Structure 1
Amino acid sequence: MGERWLYLPVEVKARELDAKLLLAYYAIKKGYHVILGEQRMVELAAAEFPEGIFYSKGYSRGYRKKVIKQAVTNGHEVVELDEEGLIFPDSDRYLNTRMQKEVLKMITKEFCWGHYQCEVIGNAYPSQKKKCHIVGNPRFDLLHPKFHNLYLQDADRINEKYGDFILVNTRFPLYNGSQGKREDDSNPFLLYIKQLYISFIEMVKGLAVAFPHHQIIVRPHPAENTDPYEEAFSMLNNVNVIFEGNIIKWLMAAKAIVHNDCTSSIEAYLLEKPIVTYIPVTFKVMDMKLPNELGIQAVKINDVISIIESILKRSNSHEYFNQKYKDTANKLLSSYYLKDSGQFSYHSILKIMDGISLTPTKPIPRFNHSFNVKPNKKLEHLFPFLSKQEIQLFFNKIDEIENQDTVLSVTPIGENLYSIRSM
């Protein structure tokens, strides 16, 4: 086939990087030359390097059009797997903000998490339906037992430090954004998120008092400001606010997970971890069925405490899943996510990409210069430093899983930007 170029932009490092590295590892095995890194840096490289496949991670309206149009102008075939495409409460809003027809027309292949997303796109744009492919997401490949060894050592280290802890995941960047709190009494959805935010703070305080001998780990959404949480819990010795690394290791280490409308509940379910869904307030227009129904629901703080007491008494968290619960959850999940398809998402994606014809005309670069972008505090918050050692360590772990000894060239070509290929 010859060397094929694959451009993998990453926006939120903790959420997306490991899945992109997983895809990169197997792509390189098939002869791809991968350019991977922070999204703006990958866009710069894609403007100068040979024509290939630009793997869009999904963006909101204006930025999506800009990125994809530029990639097409640069001669690339664009494939897309929208990171926000798993669950969305309003299909019309999703289509309008993240899946406009005029942009979809420029895309060669649209990868979908599951049947729901595929049907929403196909029903809205019948002429574009053929380019939609249900493939799942490599993020969820990482939850498969085959790849647990990627995270076991880190999970063990977390347990050594925090013991049997309770993990609380938040999702309130609309109100508690990285740039500061947003107040607007005329916006009912913002007021709802603000109520949830306040309720979660009170709930965590309740857990800290009810379980003084257990640590409570609060993991904010990547776009949230951690300072208000640290201030709110500063007097509680058993509450820690931590946003570090891929969530999988934290889920594996946790004794129980508390959330509201978080994708983390799906990841926790696939890892067979006990889930508590805290619903102190509701907003029917925006509440999502899937993540909330994968856990035991609680509407009051005392309910959360009672459920967690029950979970902590069990020596084996697998007891939490009875067959009736599994049957109901699996049926619900299968509508949104391709589960038990018989092959990994990365395999499906690569198989489809291998069928895309590429005719690069640009010369192969010598990588004798470095790409740079202007500092952006918001994006730097989402994607801090990425080292060559991190990439190599991840690939080494997959080598161990696959019983391989892969020799790769990992070359830094800009800040948080790497060229990765087989030697």
Structure 2
Amino acid sequence: MSNFLFPIETTSRELDHKILMAILAAKKKRKVIVGDQQLIRNLSYFVKNGVFYGKHLFGKPMFSDDAYYKRLKRHEFNLVHLNEEGAVWPGNEDDWKIILEQAERPSVLESNDFVATWGQWQEKFNKNREVTKATVKCTGHPRFDLYNKKYNDYFSNETTALKKEFGDFILVNTAFSYSNNGENGVKFIFKKTLSYDAKNSEHRNYRFKRWKNQMFSIASIVELVNHLALIYPNKNIVLRPHPSENSKYYEEIFQGVNNVHVKYEGPVTPWLLACKLLIHNGCTTAIEATLAGKPVVNFSNGSTDDYDVYLANICGVTLNTNKQVTEFIDKIETVEYEAILNDQEKAHSLFENFRSIDTANNVLKLLEKADKEKHESRAVANLTIISLSLLHKLYLFSKYSYFIFTGRRGNYLDYKKRFECFDKTQIVEKVSTMSRILGCDVKVTYCSKQVFVVESN
């Protein structure tokens, strides 16, 4: 039996697709461990023989810190690497190449490892960049398969509850990690790292331009939300910040505005399925809303084209003024909306999900190849996982007590926001519903608020 490690950094973004992939992978008598990426990192000291699926094992830039990876290889693990933020890049193709060079480096990997890419463009770039032993394969991302109608029942309880609470609401999703960073503000954005040095003029020019662009964009989005709240006093507007943002920024701005609700809880998918309309500026959720057939507005007033997020901003309609947005809202009240995807040839090259509704099967093939010809070994005991979970709680308590006492509360809040602890009832229900949709017979063992295990019955 092989042990599959599925780490999660941001629960709202990763949990549901990791459940989907865990159930598919478990069909072959594998033990799939899904948990907080920090706990999975610690568990890797005790687990042998298996497959690691995700991105949370290298330091930036360019897979620079490979100690975790080397430990996994010593323990006979193969890697299926899939970036959570592929293809949704700002700027032009030259900028995308720089971003990709910083984000990943397949040549570090061994011949029995795999790099799954969001699209053919990323696959081609990685193959041509430098010689690599690992297999680089265009798969798409299973997270976006969840907008296929066959998965609607998986989210039905949450979607129904949101519609009941907010009615036909307008969803505004933001992605302003530069202008509203939730960890340590501009101090975090402009601090020296391996990928940013103020003495490097190229680094500075790029970072300052992105920061400037987002400063304009965040102001125009906030002003638009206020405008819509006044024009439509009986319509709810839900503003959902990116995981990397500071939610309190918006809460303080819209205090006392009764029909504006700043919400971050849970995965974004039920919010997208329940909303009447999505408004964004460079957010990945524009792609998800397009796949779900929802009206999408890319509001670009105040920003510059230089650092627009191409793939997100070709979804739906691009509008530049508050008046244009209100006219669009009034129009979709009476006219049936058809999902819009502009520049389809390039979009399809960047993002396989625009062509395929079953990218989960593409990734599953890589997981099975990574597991092929591995010798049988004993699965890690659930008692070991539970025991490590208890130690992990002590580790988190000491680590974040240190952050708070040293004035780094932002680091603690960032982790708390990104990793929402698992609720036992919810996890059991999610796995049960997904396994029914997929026609798989699996069992789930809830080990702690940070980890659970999926196996075939």
TM over 0.5: yes
Which segments of 5 or more consecutive residues in structure 2 lack a partner in the other structure? 191-203, 401-411
Contact 1:172/1:224 (8 A) holds in 2: yes
- Count of residue pairs brought into register by the alignment: 411
1:146 and 2:118 equivalent?
A: no
Q: Is residue 121 of structure 1 aligned with residue 126 of structure 2?
A: yes
SS in 1 for 2:289: helix
How far does the alpha carbon of each residue in 1:19-63 deviate from its partner, in whole angstroms, 9 at most, with x for none? 001000111112210111110111111221122101122564267
- Provide closer, same or farther for how the CA distance between residues 281 and 129 of structure 1 changes in structure 2, counting only shifts above 3 A: farther
Change in Cα spacing, 1:120 to 1:192, as seen in structure 2 (3 Å) is: same
User: Residue 229 of structure 2 aligns with which residue?
Assistant: 208
Q: Is the 8 A contact 1:49 1:362 kept in 2?
A: no
- Residue 11 of structure 1 and its aligned partner are, at CA, apart by 0.6
Say if 1:343 and 1:301 are closer, same or farther in 2 by CA, change over 3 A: closer
Q: How does 1:181-192 map to 2 (within 5 A)?
A: 181-182=185-186, 187-192=208-213
* 2-structure distance, mates of 1:305, 1:272: 20
Tell me the distance in 1 between the aligned counterparts of 2:112 and 2:181. 31
How far is the alpha carbon of 1:107 from its aligned partner? 7.0
Match of 2:50 among 36, 49, 52: 52
Q: Which amino acid aligns with 1:227?
A: K
1:349 aligns with 2:363: yes
User: Separation in 2 of the partners of 1:342 and 1:226?
Assistant: 34
Call closer, same or farther: CA 1:63–1:243 in 2, change over 3 Å: farther
The one-letter amino acid of 1:367's match is L
Counterpart of 1:6 in 2: which secondary structure? strand
RMSD of aligned residue pairs (Cα, Å)? 2.5
Which is worse superposed, 145-154 or 172-181?
172-181
What letter is aligned with 1:162? F
Question: Is contact 2:423–2:449 with CA below 8 Å preserved after alignment?
Answer: no
Query: What does residue range 412-423 of structure 1 map to in structure 2 within 5 Å?
Result: 412=447, 415-423=449-457
SS in 1 for 2:38: helix
Tell me the distance in 2 between the aligned counterparts of 1:363 and 1:37. 16
| 1:230 alignment partner in structure 2 | 251
1:98 is matched with which residue: 95, 103, 115?
A: 103
Q: 1:9 to 1:364 in 2, by over 3 A?
A: closer
Contact 2:442 2:454 in 1 (8 A): no
Match of 2:338 in 1: 321
| Aligned residue number for residue 28 of structure 1 | 26
Provide closer, same or farther for how the CA distance between residues 343 and 92 of structure 1 changes in structure 2, counting only shifts above 3 A: closer
Higher relative contact order (CA 8 A, sep 6+): 2
- Separation of aligned partners in 2, 1:95 and 1:45: 29
Q: Equivalents in 2 of 1:233, 1:343: separation in Å?
A: 38
Other structure's SS at 1:385 match: coil
Sort the Cα spacing of 1:68 and 1:308 in 2 relative to 1 into closer, same or farther, 3 A.
farther
Aligned to 2:182: 178
After superposition, the Cα gap between the structure-2 partners of 1:115 and 1:181, relative to the gap in structure 1 and judged at 3 Å, is same
1: CA distance, partners of 2:377 / 2:434: 33
Q: Are the equivalent residues in 2 in contact too, given 1:50–1:360 (CA < 8 A)?
A: no
Alignment check: 8 A CA contact 2:17 2:143 kept: yes
Q: Corresponding residue for 2:318?
A: 297
TM-score (norm 1): 0.89
Mapped pair 1:334 → 2:334: no
SS of the equivalent of 1:155 reads helix
Change (3 A) 1:209 1:344: same
1:358 corresponds to: 374
1:55 partner SS: strand
Cα deviation digits, residues 338-374 of structure 1 (max 9, x gap): 1476662222222222223323667744624223133
**% identical equivalent positions:** 27
Report the AA paired with residue 37 of structure 2: Q
* Residue 9 of structure 1, CA deviation: 0.3
**SS of the residue 1:25 aligns to:** helix
Aligned to 1:297, what secondary structure does the other structure show?
strand
Aligned to 1:393: 429
Equivalent pair of 1:189/1:283 in contact (CA under 8 Å): no
- Is the 1:68–1:103 Cα contact (8 Å) retained in structure 2? no
Question: Partners of 1:63 and 1:18 in 2: how far apart?
Answer: 29
